[in-house]
Structure 1
Amino acid sequence: MTADNPYSHELSIALLTVQRASLLTKRIVTALDKGAIDKSDASPVTIADFAAQALIISALHRNFPADGFIGEEDAEALRGNAALCDRVWELVSTTSLDDPPSEELPGKIGSKEEMLATIDLGAKAGSQSGRNWVLDPVDGTATFMRNQQYAVCLALVEGGKQKLGVLGCPNLLIGEGGEVREDLIDSKGLGRMLSAVVGQGAYIRPIARGRVETPQRLGRIAEVVDPAKIRWVDSVASDNITHQIHRAIAERLGSTTWPGTDIWSSQMKYIGLAVGAFDAMVRIPPDRSYRASVWDHAGGQLIYAEVGGVLSDTSGKPFDFGLGRNLESNLGLVAAPASIHPKLLEAVKEVLAATAGVGQ
């Protein structure tokens, strides 16, 4: 890191790491789409999760040995299933970047035993130094299995705040009208990778097989003047939201366009917001005790904030990513441009108050 360009080394390693992991997941999803893997078998997404986590943590631990990790998986299931372990190892040991200097920086995993130990690092409590890499190897497992939108997610959190985020979106294809949809996928290429460092803007680039491509800076998101014209994004099949409250919030603003575009992956919603495909999102859980996992939001939130998005929980508080594996001090989510966020937050509070404090 330099004074002029903080986190430059971390960013360069994170980009290579996410790009390589994205290539791994694309191998699996392509095989699924071609029928080479049985879609009734749940193991493809399990293999992708384990293999991508191994590649990501290995590269980061090699370059930043004092840092900690917060992820979903440990290697217990692999130790108890030799066939599954072999399938994960085959992917890990054969996935590499085509450019030798680029491949040298993240490095290779030398053995199956090293792979298992590496995966286990993601299930630990994190680093006592306060620097933790938060990762979700495949965010959007259901849509991954359908060859729709999913994301390979990585963020650096320091002192409870996001400092860096990189999201690989191997199926992302932005339509001619700027739209992002589950069924609009990059079937000819490798999708897009988005990144941000706090205070330095957000960037998008094609995912490549070798060196990281030159990025394009994302412009500021459009402000919303008329609340009735909000373009919403939601996930109508999710059990972790309260659909009738979401609808009531939209109607209180005079909007009849909810639920808008249906996107399953939490992180892909942030990507759609950041590239201007959508305007706003709310997340009101049905149970006030529910707390979201940090890996569903870290990185994507930073990318959205770096293009002008405003994020808070339902009480208006910013998010604290330094309390472990969950967002323990935050309930729900309100995400929108600065021009509409105060009105949206006010509508959220009014609706919650009128519905006996659900989500409060």
Structure 2
Amino acid sequence: MTTPYAAELNLALQAVHAASLLTKSVLRSLKNNVSAETKADDSPVTIADFAAQALLISAVHAVFPDDAFLGEESADALRSNEALADRVWQLVLQAKNAEQTRMSDVQHVRDEVPAGAALTLLEFPASKEDMFDLIDRGGKGQVTGSGRVWVMDPVDGTATFMQGQQYAVCLCLLVDGVQQVGVIGCPNLAFDVHGPLGVTRIHEDHVDEHGYGVVLSAVKEQGTHVREMKERGLGEPRRVDLTQLPKKDVARLDFVESTIGKTSLSQAEHKAVAESLGAKWPGTVIWAQQVKHVALALGSTDVMVRIPKTVDRFTCVWDHAGGHILFQEAGGMISDFNGEQIDFGQGRHIKGERNWGMIATMPDVFEEVGHAVKEVLARRSQ
């Protein structure tokens, strides 16, 4: 009997693998010196962001033509900058040629994909204009609360990607606003064949220089798995079950945090929460939001707290969709400060008026961390 969302999972794994190799090729060809354009919100975007989004949408749209998409990038900058568009198009063509080469040796590829996975040649944009239109299917997407919607961040952590540090390629299927499939590739995260969960402690500068990193996947009610990414395919899936790890005393909890001082969240209150539990702050420092979720899912860190400075602050849906299901299916808990599940059906943004703040940790310490957060917020109101 076929398990639910098996076809979607196999396609997402293959697409994220191809997009991860694309982004890694950019890093290696430019020796980690990646230039960027600046978007309207002053955040950077590279040729890898555009090309990876075109690849992901093209691959999924060819198989599920009635599905909708929501992605971080739009093609506006490409349509107005021919030189930039040419660079992105050449990168897409290189990825297409690489994928055709990988698939030409079918037997070799099948030796490096999970048992039972369906191998298909991914569909790529047919022309530069087709590439623009595909990117815009995600960049112009608005609705996430109804139907089947693929949410993606082609390069989460562009700033650290440009420095050759940790970043993620993210793809998540929402059905009526609920995560059903999440796949996240971390091309710079070194795979540890001897580690219990497949990786060692995550660090920005602990980079897989010679390999292709790891990919994590989860399907609702089917658990979380991690695989090594190889040039020709994927390694065998390894189940991630955080409930098998020993319970930690709250004073030993590791709080994951962004680069200190470079966030719109209230890091002073994050620190106060950790210190009220007797824990050190910061613990693990990671810039990319989805890599934080991966670190939680792999047990490399224990707690993520997101305290906005104001109630009207929002966070982008592509920074969390996919990462949440990875951690939850591995055994973790995530909610807002009121104990409500995060609502992925709000469109492009997760709004503070609907979901105020965020806490992610294991169930056995969730109540204690939540109580510490409420005490810190009570001091704010006073």
- TM class by shorter-chain length? over 0.9
Look up the match of 2:222: 200
Counterparts of 1:127 and 1:324 in 2: how far apart (Å)?
5
Residue of structure 1 equivalent to 2:363: 338
Give the letter for the 2:155 counterpart. Answer: V
Checking the alignment, whether the CA contact within 8 Å between 2:144 and 2:347 is kept in structure 1 is no
- 1:233·1:263 contact (CA, 8 Å) conserved in 2? yes
Q: SS of 1:171's equivalent?
A: coil
DSSP-derived class of the 2:7 partner: helix
Q: Which amino acid aligns with 1:15?
A: L
Contact 1:75/1:116, CA 8 A, preserved across alignment: yes
Task: Describe the superposition over 1:301-338 as per-residue Cα deviations: whole angstroms up to 9, x where unpaired.
Answer: 10111111010112211111111111132122101101
- Give the TM-score taking structure 2 as reference length: 0.87
Secondary structure in structure 1 of the residue aligned to 2:87: helix
Give TM-score scaled by structure 1 length: 0.92
Aligned sequence identity (%): 46
8 Å Cα contact 2:337/2:357 also seen in 1: yes
- Given candidates 189, 202, 211, the residue that maps to 2:233 is 211
Q: Which amino acid aligns with 1:136?
A: D
Q: State the match for 2:372 in structure 1.
A: 347
Deviations 1:103-148 (A, max 9, x none): 7442222111111111110022247851100000000011101100
More off after superposition, 286-295 vs 40-49: 40-49
Superposition deviation, residue 353 in structure 1? 1.2
Superposed displacement of residue 218, structure 1: 1.4
How many Å separate the matches in 1 of 2:17 and 2:157? Answer: 17
Correspondence 1:322 to 2:338: no
Cα drift, residue 150 of structure 1? 0.1
Q: What is the 5 A alignment of 1:27-176?
A: 27-33=25-31, 37=33, 39=34, 42=37, 45-95=45-95, 96-97=98-99, 98-100=102-104, 104-122=120-138, 123-126=140-143, 130-173=147-190
5+ residue gaps, structure 1, are none
Contact 1:167 1:193 in 2 (8 A): yes
Residues 137-286 of structure 1 aligned to structure 2 (within 5 Å): 137-173=154-190, 178-221=200-243, 222=245, 224-235=247-258, 236-255=260-279, 257-286=280-309
Q: Match for 2:327: what amino acid?
A: Y
CA spacing shift, 1:83–1:171, aligned 2, 3 Å: same
Cα contact 2:176–2:345 (8 A) shared by 1: yes
> Considering only aligned residues, what root-mean-square deviation do their CA atoms show, in Å?
2.0
Look up the match of 2:23: 25
Amino acid across the alignment from 2:226: I
Asked if the contact 2:145–2:176 (Cα under 8 Å) also holds between the matched residues in 1, the reply is no
> d(CA) in 1 for partners of 2:91 and 2:21?
10
Q: Once the two structures are superposed, what CA deviation does each residue of 1:54-89 show, in whole Å capped at 9, x if it has no partner?
A: 000001111111111111111111011100000000
8 Å CA contact 1:148–1:185 kept in 2: the answer is yes
Q: CA deviation at 1:40?
A: 5.7
Deviations, residues 264-290 of structure 1 (Å, cap 9, x unaligned): 000001111111111111011112211
**What are structure 2's unaligned runs of at least 5 residues?**
39-43, 110-118
The SS at the match of 1:24 is: helix
Give the counterpart letter for 1:170 in structure 2. Answer: P
Compare 70-79 and 177-186 and name the one that shifted more. 177-186
Matched AA of 1:169: C
Q: What letter matches 2:133 in structure 1? A: A
Moved more, 218-227 or 78-87: 218-227
Paired with 1:42 and 1:117, the residues of 2 have a C-alpha distance of: 20
- Judged with a 3 Å threshold, the aligned counterparts in structure 2 of structure 1 residues 289 and 209 are, in CA distance, closer, same or farther, namely same
